[in-house]
Amino acid sequence: MEAYRALLGKDLRVELRTLRSLPAMTLFAVTTFVIFRFGLDRTELEGGLAAGVLVATLLFAAILAINRLFVAEREEGGFELIRLAPLDRTVLFASKASALFVYLTALELVAVPTFALFFLDSASALAPLVPVLLLANLGIAVTGTLISTIATMSSARDLLAPLILLPLLIPLVIAASGAAEPLLRADGPEYERFGTWLAVLGLYDLVFALVGYAVFDFLLED
């Protein structure tokens, strides 16, 4: 637990001092909204289109952070130090996933209100979106950490992470969009199958958290 706190604290401190991921993610998300405004030629979005634009944008912004997640470890020899330290390596998995979760939540604190400002009539959908986005963040955080480790250690690096992650995240996208679509309808939020989709997101998070916990050790062996 102490090691987890130390590693997570280190990641968050590094991010606060260097600001390598978060500003880029936020800028990317806002620019992508503008691109959708012209690509779709719509000034207002509702229902499925709104859910799709929001979820796809957040997903692609997340890829930026996932690609950078282990860059410091690779460049500064952090992996060797973790191997040498007398601690359970899954602590690294937990701390990196938590850091990614924090980045994604911080990104959404800016990007989702901006999305509402740009495209939505009212902000009434924002509150019920919170549990959907938090569960989605958790899923992206665990699968993202797992695949980012593989990609970082490979020679294809930035290419491999999105290539494997995007199909892997499709069930999460289905569930998040499925929950968000009725919430973002033009005539006010509805809770159609809200619980079902939250359960699917929760199941996704649970399954990949367990898989990650079980296999992460093998990724760090040398």
Partner 1 sequence: MRAPGLRTLAIATTVTLLAGYALAFFYAPLEVEGFIQKIFYLHVPLAVVALVGFIVAAVYAIQHLRKDDARYDAKSYVAIHMSVIFGTGALITGALWAKGQWGVWWEWREPTLVSFLIIFLLYATYYPLRYAVEDRDRQARYASVFAITAGAFVPLNFLAVRLAEPFIHPRTFSSAGGLPPEMLQSFLVCLLGMGLLWATLVRFELGAKAASADLGRLRRALDPESERPAGPRRSAAPVAVSATEGSAQ
Residue 71 lies near partner 1 (rule: CB under 8 A)? no
Binding piece for partner 1, criterion CB under 8 A, among 77-85, 92-100, 111-119, 160-168 = 160-168
Task: Extract the tokens encoding 215.
Answer: 């296999």
Binding flag, residue 156, partner 1 (CB under 8 A)? yes
CA angle 133, 4, 85 (to 5 degrees): 140
Our finding on whether 215 is near partner 1 (CB under 8 A) is yes
Q: Which of residues 113-152 bind partner 1 (CB under 8 A)?
A: 143, 146, 150-151
Q: Residue 172, class by beta-carbon neighbours within 10 Å (0-12 exposed, 13-18 middle, 19+ buried)?
A: buried
Fill in the amino acid letter for 70. F
| Candidate segments 24-32, 39-47, 91-99, 154-162, binder of partner 1 by CB under 8 A | 154-162
User: Is 204 a residue that touches partner 1 (CB under 8 A)?
Assistant: yes
Query: Cβ closer to partner 1: 47 or 106?
Result: 47
Residue spans of beta strands (DSSP E) within the chain:
none
Assess 80 for contact with partner 1 (CB under 8 A): no
Q: How many residues bind partner 1 (CB under 8 A)?
A: 35
Q: Which of 47, 128, 171, 202 binds partner 1 (CB under 8 A)?
A: 171
Angstrom distance (rounded) from CA 35 to CA 47? 19
Per DSSP, the chain holds a count of helices (H) and strands (E) of: 10, 0
CB of 167 to partner 1, least distance (A): 4
d(CA 198, CA 62): 20
Cβ proximity to partner 1: between 108 and 181 the closer is 181
Instruction: Give the one residue of 154, 194, 202, 213 binding partner 1; rule: CB under 8 A.
Output: 154
Query: Taking a C-beta distance cutoff of 8 angstroms, is the pair 45, 120 a contact?
Result: yes
| Residue numbers at the binding site for partner 1 (CB under 8 A) | 143, 146, 150-151, 153-156, 159-160, 163-164, 167-168, 170-172, 174-175, 178, 193, 196-197, 200, 203-204, 207-208, 211, 214-215, 218-219, 221-222
